Structures are given as C-alpha cells and as structure tokens.
C-alpha cells in the first residue's frame, strides 16, 4: 500500500518496533543471567546438590531479613525454622535467634553462618530436605547442558543428512527424505520414549547423558535436514557454485566451503527452536521416570520428585520452582526470537 | 481425488504396521523383561523360566514377531501380561478417552486461537498487544507446564477434580476441562500467532483495499473477505498439530491422571508388557495417519490450489 502515513501511525509503528526491541533485549538479559548462573552454579548455590537436612523436610523458603522484631537494622540475616507439626510438616520462624549470612566464604557467594541449625534455603527444601534453590541451579547444568548438546548433535546429524540428500540427489535424496519425513510425522516424545525404553533403566550418569543426547539428536535432526537439503539444492544451481565446480573444487570443498555456509541463518533459528523443545523433552522423560534417575538434579527429576507428593500443589508450591525456571528460560528465548519473527516456526512440509 | 485418498490410506496403513512392528521389536530388545520386573527377585530360575514359557517370552524375537503378525492379521493383538486381558479389549476405551481429549483440545484451541488471531492480526493497539503477549507467554508453556500449573490451581481452589473419573457425562466433562485446557491453551497460542501473521499479510493485499474503497465496512472485510484466504496457513499446519496433540496428551494424561492411551503406554513400557506396548503404539500411529489425512483434506477445502497440486501428484 502506498499511502502516506499520518504522524500518529508512524509513532505507533515506531513504538511497536521499540517495544519489540526492548522485549528482545529483556529476553536476552534473562537468558544471559540464566547461563551465567548455570556456569557459576557451584559458587552461587549455598549447598551442594546432594546436601540434605533431615530435620527440614519440605521446609518453606527461608526469607532473608534486614530488620528484627525490635525494629533494629542488621546486616542480612535469617531465622531458623522450628517444626510446629511433624505430621503436617509445618514450620514457623524461630524469632529468638538471628543467624547472620556470611558472604564469600568457602568459595560460595553467600551462605548461612550456622548451616547445621539454619541452612539458607531460598526456595525451601524438598521432601529429602535438600535445598531447592541450589538444586535448580545445578539442575540447570544438566537440563540446559543436555538441551544445548542435543541441539548441536541434531545440527551435525541434520546437516550431514540434509547436505547428502541435497547434494547427491536421486535415490539418496528419495530415501533420506522419506526417512526424515517419517520421523517428523511421529510424535517426538513417543520416539524418544521408545528409544529410551530400549536402554537399560540404570546407567552411569555420563553414559546416560550421552545416550539422551543421541536420542534427542535423532529426533531433532529431521527438522534441520529438511531445510539444509532445500537450501543446498537451490544454492547448487547458482552461478557461484558452478564457478567453484568449474575451477575444480572437490565435492567436499564445494559443500563445506560454499554451500553449507548458506544454511547458517536457517540453522541458528532452528537451534534456538530445538533448545526449548529439548529442555521440555528432558523434563518430560525424567518426570515419567525414564530420564535421569533421582539423586541427580535436573529440572525433570526435581519435578518427578515433587510429583510423588500430592500435597505439593496445595502446601509445598516451592517444589515447582524448576517449572518456573523452565518457563523463564523458554519465555526469554521466545522474546528474543519473536523479534526475528520466528517465535512460531513450523517446518512446513512441501 | 479418490486415487489420492487411496494412496494416503495406504500410507496410513504402512505407518501403523511399521510403528507397531518397530515398537514390538524394540520392546523385546529392551533389557529386562516382564518376568524380571514382576516376579520377586528371590524367585527361582525355574519359576522364571516357567513364567517365560507361559507368556511366550522364551522364544526368539523373530518367531514371536511372526506369530504376532499372523495373529494381528486376524485382529488378535495378543494378551497383556500386566492386565491379563486381551489387548483388543483394553485399548478401545483408553483410545476413546485420548480421542475425546485430543478433539476437545483441538476445538478449544481453534475456538480461542483463530478469532483472537484475526483480531490481533487485523488491528494495532492495546488489545492486540495484550493478545500477543498472552500468546507469547502460553507459547513458552508446553503442556507439561500448563498441566502442572492447572493442577496447582485445581489443588488450591478445588474447582477441578484430579483422577477418579466416573461414568456420567457431567463427571467426564468435569474431569475433561483441566487436561483439555492444558493441551488446548498452548495450541491456541500457536494458532493465534499463525493466524495473526497470515491475517496481517492478507490485510495488505490490493483486494482488501479495493473492498474498503468500495465502502464495505471494516469488520465485514476482515471477517468475510480476508478470513478465507488467510485460513490456509493455519490449515496447512493442522497436519503437524496432530503429532503435537499426541505428544502433548501423553504428558498431560500422566500428570492429570486422565485414563488415555498415553498413560497406558507408559505403564506398559515400564512393565515391558510387549503386546500392550505394541497395541498402544499401533493405535497412536492409526490416530496419526487418520489425523494427517483429515487435515490434508481440510486443507483442500480451504485452499483449492492445494488439492489441485495433490491431484497432480497422485
């Protein structure tokens, strides 16, 4: 439409762009904080992932105070929890003693000065008396690490398959694309579930991690392969590709040096779409008990643990913090992506 | 057209056969079998061997597979170890539950997502901004999170029951609300975003401007003239949505204790109940095949060009 826009309209359009930019910067900032917190988990977390206080099962979050009951100001401190009802696992703050927080000791940013009596549990304790906040941080390493590794794996596998199909054409193309179509039609979580079920239930953590990366990579690869194939096919017909071929570039060189770089933009967008999908997939598998096993802290195992207690939802809502963490990460990814106009991208079938 | 449908039906049949065969073989290959998991660990080797012989787990995978295939051709899908009932009796009820859940979720998603997408795609301002924001939030909440959140709300308020579904229609509806919302809301967000994008593109087309210039009212142009051409984008993704419906219903069934095929399959997988796993997987594949076929036909209705392409291809 070539009609002159009124100033008002321009201002509106401009403010929409500005709002989008703000939103995507906000998303990027949250993501940055999340990644930094994940990397620095051993320093930020007041406890190790496995530390438990048997006295404080399902204890609510400890709240840092700066003012005591008499109205006097102090450096940040906490009150210990006192068990009110063993049966209902209800606690109340023991206001008689202040336990100051100590900063930068034992290689940790902050912890309670009396960990045995009053551990610092910013998001409460789970049913084993473990610190939920610390476990969310350590869980991020497993959940986000798995998602990132699996996305990279899917990228590798998908690019190889897509490049082979697009470059070789003919029978290769037919067979590879039929297979990717087939995998794409299947509901991803069932494929992952079925593949996981074939593996032994109990595996050493590292092997399990590698296996899950492999499974997710297989499930995610078709989405990459499709696009890479299409791009390689169309780029190959362009003059620069013919020129390179005429100059005697080998197949591998032509692919690696000339054709695959053209898929960069597509792959970046796909990766950012696969990462949240994999975060959720890990959580789903672990939730139903087929992902990581319990003592390991991942967001899925934490939700699995929470789900074993029906009172969680009514009385111990802090056990659902991993779900909130997951939402924040996926939401900020979407905020970043929506600016690229890709928040909802389905790989449309041809 | 009929040739096309036949071809698609053949594909659906192939899907069912391949998926159930693969899951049967995978379930047999899995380490540990039903006998290991169900008998107490101190059970004697003879007792185990006896149980295996009774269940047919002592035969080779290929022999068992061929037997199953032959029986399946006569619509006998074996007997569940776990429930000790024929798979054919177990599945229909569960499958019906899943179908009810999936269809309700789809209706909810379409009923909410499409109109909101038309609104937010055709105008600017606070309302569409708000719709967009809510969509973005819901997009970031996959069914795993929405169902946890809704169960949380239900536990706090007692508005919705979790588990323990009776037979009366009212009771079923009451139990259905929560899982259907858990699957439907994220899907509504997907549809809203797609529809808004499509609407935005169509609104810029010359024929819309021409209609406006002739004095047709704005709402009539949006809801009549522009709606149909914008629908094909959404119609094109329905085929992919079927898969995500099944994926979504799996986790939602488990969390909200909805007695569907997903939770049945999980129980079967855990217990290494080979025939039941196979039956569930096959049923899922059947849903998938029918769903994608229906969505392709729907696409043909909305976008005649698509069905021409389809006919050329056939």
Task: Tell me: pLDDT of A331 over 70.
Answer: yes
Q: Which residues of A touch B30 (CB under 8 A)?
A: 197-199
pLDDT confidence of residue A224: 92
- Those of residues 17-46 in B touching chain A at CB distance below 8 A are 18-19, 22-23, 26-27, 29-32
Q: What is the pLDDT of residue B222?
A: 87
Q: What is the pLDDT of residue B158?
A: 74
In this complex, is the C-beta atom of B214 within 8 Å of any C-beta atom belonging to chain A? no
Burial of residue A206 (number of CB atoms within 10 Å: 0-12, 13-18, 19+): exposed
Q: Picking from A3-7, B146-150, B276-280, which range would have the lowest pLDDT averaged per residue?
A: A3-7
- Checking phi first, is residue A19 left (phi over 0); if not, alpha (psi -120 to 50) or beta? alpha
Summarised one tens digit per residue, pLDDT across range A3-29 is 566 777 767 667 777 777 888 888 899
Enumerate the residues of chain A whose CB falls inside 8 A of the CB of residue B149: 323
Which of A:183-222 have CB within 8 Å of B?
A: 184-190, 193-195, 197-201
Q: For residue A343, what pLDDT is reported?
A: 40
Report percent pLDDT > 70 for chain A. 93
Residue A347 confidence class, pLDDT cut points 50, 70, 90: very low
Residue A348 in contact with partner chain B when CB distance is under 8 A? yes
Is the pLDDT higher at B31 or at A335? A335
Q: How confident is the model at residue B314 (pLDDT cuts 50, 70, 90)?
A: very low
Q: Which residue of B has its CA nearest to A318?
A: B152
B204 touches chain A (CB under 8 A): yes
Contact A274, A154 (CB under 8 A): yes
CA nearest neighbour of A175 among A160, A186, A165, A185: A165
pLDDT at B237 over 50: yes
CB B99 within 8 A of CB B172: no
Segment B78-109, tens digit of pLDDT: 888 888 888 888 889 889 999 999 999 999 99
Rounded to an integer, what distance in angstroms lies between the CA atom of residue B82 and that of residue B267? 9
Q: How far does CA A178 lie from the centroid of its chain?
A: 30
Instruction: Specify the 3-state DSSP secondary structure of A131.
Output: strand
Closest CA of chain A from B80, distance in Å: 18
Can you tell me the ipTM of this complex? Answer: 0.82
Q: Which residue of B has its CA nearest to A285?
A: B251
What is the model's pLDDT at position A30? 92
Q: Which residues of A touch B27 (CB under 8 A)?
A: 197
Residues 6+ apart with CB under 8 A from B72: B20
Residues B194-214 have a mean pLDDT of: 88
* Residue A130 per-residue DSSP state: B
| Nearest by CB: A287 against B144, B151, B204 | B144
Compute the nearest-CA separation of A35 from chain B (Å). 18
Cβ contact, residue pair B269, A290, below 8 Å: yes
The answer to whether A349 contacts B270, with C-beta atoms less than 8 Å apart, is: no
Which A-chain residues 143-162 have CB contacts (< 8 A) with chain B? none
Max Cα–Cα distance, chain B, nearest Å: 88
Q: Which residues of A touch B285 (CB under 8 A)?
A: 186
How much is the average pLDDT of A49-64?
84
pLDDT per residue as tens digits for the range A26-40: 889 999 999 999 998
**Range among A55-59, A152-156, B65-69, B281-285 rated most confident:** A152-156
User: Which residue of A lies nearest to B153 if distances are taken between CA atoms?
Assistant: A313
- Which residue did the predictor score with more confidence, A17 or A95? A95
Contact (CB<8Å) A288/B26: no
**Which residues of chain A have a CB within 8 Å of the CB of B156?**
313-314
* Chain B residue nearest residue A185, CA to CA: B243
CA distance B141 to chain A (A): 6
- Asked if A187 lies within 8 A of B247 by C-beta distance, the reply is yes
Q: What is the mean pLDDT of chain B?
A: 83
For A194, the closest of B23, B154, B288 (CB atoms) is: B23
Q: Is the pLDDT of residue B269 over 90?
A: no
Averaged pLDDT, B130-134: 89
Interface of A with B in 45-104 (CB under 8 A): none
The least confident of A95-99, A137-141, A174-178, B30-34 is B30-34
pLDDT average, residue stretch A44-62: 84
Q: How far is B159 from chain A (nearest CA, A)?
A: 13
CA distance to partner chain A, nearest, from residue B109 (Å): 15
DSSP H or E run through A83:
strand A81-85
pLDDT at B310: 54
Structure tokens at A275: 């990462």
A31 and chain B in contact, CB less than 8 A = no
Tell me the pLDDT band of A63, cut-offs 50, 70 and 90.
confident
pLDDT band at B113 (very low <50, low <70, confident <90, very high): very high
pLDDT for B163: 66
Chain B CB contacts of A317 under 8 Å are 152
Is the pLDDT score of A349 beyond 60?
A: no
Q: Per the CB < 8 Å rule, is B145 touching A327?
A: yes
Listed residue (A265, A305, A309) closest to A287, CA to CA: A305
Rg (CA), chain B: 24
CA distance, residue A142 to nearest chain B CA (Å) = 18
pTM summary value: 0.85
B13 C-beta neighbours (distance < 10 Å), count: 13
Q: Does A317 touch chain B (CB under 8 A)?
A: yes
Question: What gap in Å lies between CA A56 and CA B247, rounded to an integer?
Answer: 37
Q: Is B237 in the A-facing interface, judged by CB distances under 8 Å?
A: yes
Alpha helices (H) in chain B, listed in sequence order: 2-29, 34-38, 45-55, 61-73, 87-122, 126-139, 143-157, 169-203, 206-213, 218-220, 227-256, 261-271, 274-302, 304-313
Please give the Cα distance from A6 to A148 (Å, whole number).
Answer: 46
Q: Say if the Cβ atoms of A330 and B155 lie within 8 Å.
A: no
For residues B166 and A295, the model is more confident at A295
- Of residues B27, B144, B204, nearest to A283 (C-beta): B144
User: Inter-chain contact B243–A188, Cβ cutoff 8 Å?
Assistant: yes
Better-predicted residue by pLDDT, B269 or B110 = B110
Residues of B in contact with A182 (CB under 8 A): 15, 18
- The distance of A64 to chain B (nearest Cα, Å) reads 26
Q: Return the number of other C-beta atoms located less than 10 Å from residue B132's C-beta.
A: 20
pLDDT beyond 50 at A348: no
How distant is the Cα of A12 from the closest Cα of chain B, in angstroms?
8
CB atoms closer than 10 angstroms to residue B203: 18
pLDDT at A350 over 50: no
Residues B37-47, mean pLDDT to the nearest whole number: 76
Inter-chain CB proximity A307 and B255 less than 8 Å: yes
């Amino acid at each position: 439409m070539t009609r002159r826009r009124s100033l008002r309209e321009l201002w509106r359009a401009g403010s929409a762009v500005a709002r989008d930019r703000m939103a995507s910067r906000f998303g990027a900032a949250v993501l940055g904080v999340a990644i930094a917190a994940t990397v620095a988990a051993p320093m930020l977390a007041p406890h190790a992932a496995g530390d438990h206080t048997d006295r404080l099962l399902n204890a609510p979050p400890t709240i840092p105070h700066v003012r005591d009951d008499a109205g006097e100001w102090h450096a940040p401190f906490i009150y210990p929890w006192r068990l009110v009802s063993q049966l209902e696992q209800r606690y109340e703050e023991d206001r008689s003693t202040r336990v100051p927080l100590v900063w930068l000791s034992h290689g940790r940013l902050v912890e309670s000065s009396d960990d045995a009596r009053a551990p610092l549990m910013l998001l409460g304790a789970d049913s084993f008396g473990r610190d939920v906040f610390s476990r969310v941080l350590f869980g991020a390493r497993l959940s986000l690490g798995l998602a990132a590794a699996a996305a990279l794996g899917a990228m590798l596998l998908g690019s190889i398959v897509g490049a082979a199909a697009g470059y070789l054409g003919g029978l290769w193309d037919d067979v590879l694309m039929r297979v990717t179509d087939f995998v794409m039609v299947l509901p991803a979580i069932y494929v992952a579930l079925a593949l996981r079920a074939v593996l032994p239930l109990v595996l050493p953590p590292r092997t399990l991690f590698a296996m899950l990366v492999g499974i997710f990579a297989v499930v995610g690869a078709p989405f990459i392969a499709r696009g890479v194939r299409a791009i390689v096919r169309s780029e190959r017909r362009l003059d620069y590709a013919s020129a390179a071929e005429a100059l005697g570039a080998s197949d591998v060189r032509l692919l690696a040096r000339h054709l695959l770089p053209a898929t960069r933009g597509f792959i970046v967008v796909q990766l950012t779409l696969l990462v949240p999908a994999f975060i959720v997939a890990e959580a789903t598998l672990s939730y139903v008990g087929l992902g990581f096993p319990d003592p390991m802290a991942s967001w899925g195992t934490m939700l699995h643990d929470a789900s074993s207690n029906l009172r969680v939802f009514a009385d111990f809502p802090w056990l659902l913090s991993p779900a909130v963490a997951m939402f924040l990460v996926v939401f900020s990814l979407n905020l970043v992506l929506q600016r690229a106009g890709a928040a909802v991208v389905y790989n449309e079938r041809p | 057209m009929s040739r096309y449908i036949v071809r698609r039906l053949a594909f659906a049949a192939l899907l069912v056969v391949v998926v159930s065969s693969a899951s049967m073989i995978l379930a047999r290959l899995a380490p540990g079998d039903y006998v290991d998991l169900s008998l107490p660990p101190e059970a004697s080797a003879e007792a185990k061997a006896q149980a295996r012989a009774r269940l047919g787990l002592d035969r080779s995978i290929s022999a068992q597979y061929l037997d199953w295939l032959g029986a399946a051709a006569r619509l006998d899908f074996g007997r569940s170890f776990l429930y000790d009932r024929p798979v054919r009796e177990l599945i229909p009820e569960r499958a019906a539950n899943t179908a009810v859940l999936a269809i309700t979720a789809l209706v909810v998603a379409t009923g909410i997502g499409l109109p909101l997408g038309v609104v937010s795609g055709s105008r600017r301002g606070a309302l569409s901004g708000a719709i967009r924001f809510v969509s973005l939030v819901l997009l970031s909440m996959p069914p795993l999170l929405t169902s946890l959140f809704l169960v949380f709300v239900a536990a706090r308020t007692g508005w919705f029951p979790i588990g323990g579904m009776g037979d009366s229609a009212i009771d079923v509806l009451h139990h259905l609300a929560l899982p259907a919302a858990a699957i439907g809301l994220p899907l509504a967000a997907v549809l809203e975003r797609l529809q808004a994008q499509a609407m935005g593109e169509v609104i810029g087309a010359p024929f819309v401007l021409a209609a406006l210039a002739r004095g047709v009212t704005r709402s009539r142009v949006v809801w009549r003239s522009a709606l149909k051409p914008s629908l094909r984008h959404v119609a094109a993704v329905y085929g992919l949505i079927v898969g995500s419906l099944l994926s979504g219903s799996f986790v939602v069934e488990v969390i909200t204790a909805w007695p569907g095929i997903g939770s049945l399959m999980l129980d079967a997988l855990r217990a290494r109940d080979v025939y039941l796993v196979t039956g569930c997987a096959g049923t899922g594949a059947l849903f998938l095949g029918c769903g994608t076929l229906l969505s392709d036909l729907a696409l043909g209705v909305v976008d005649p060009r698509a069905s021409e392409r389809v006919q050329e291809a056939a």
